[in-house]
Amino acid sequence: MRIWDVSPTILCRQHLLGEHRELHALWTILTEHKKGYSQHPETKRWVGKLPALYKRHQELVDEMETRGYSHLTPLNKTLAVGNQTQEEFVHTIEKQLQLLRDKGCECKIPKNK
């Protein structure tokens, strides 16, 4: 499970759509108090930060729609309670960019990062 902290505009199709799918799973874990993956570091960092997660979802949706994808799975905004910002990371932004670079996919990692 991974929610990236980089701009969705640099993500390749696979990572953009994959993150969107995983974000929905994470949202369900947090809003419905599911146990699966509840102890995962990625899940733990979003506890109490549903407005920030909701914002990330919107960023992903905006990029998906820019690329011509239809979005049919909105989140319930009334469940987005807690902190508006996410300042806790499993990996630094630099490390996330390196992880994406190492995957050899079509993500558009800036050369100077």
- pLDDT in tens for each of the 113 residues of the chain? 899 999 999 999 999 999 999 999 999 999 999 999 999 999 999 999 999 999 999 999 999 999 999 999 999 999 999 999 999 999 999 999 999 999 999 999 988 65
At a CB cut-off of 8 Å and minimum separation 6, what does 92 contact? Answer: none
* Number of domains, the chain: 1
Look at residue 31 and tell me if it is in a domain: yes
Look at residue 62 and tell me if it is in a domain: yes
Look at residue 37 and tell me if it is in a domain: yes
Look at residue 111 and tell me if it is in a domain: no
Look at residue 40 and tell me if it is in a domain: yes
Distance CA 20, CA 61 (A): 8
Structure tokens at 70: 């239809």
Look at residue 110 and tell me if it is in a domain: no
CA distances from 93 to 7, 33, 90, 101 (A): 10, 28, 9, 12
- Domain residue limits at 85: 8-103
Look at residue 108 and tell me if it is in a domain: no
Look at residue 90 and tell me if it is in a domain: yes
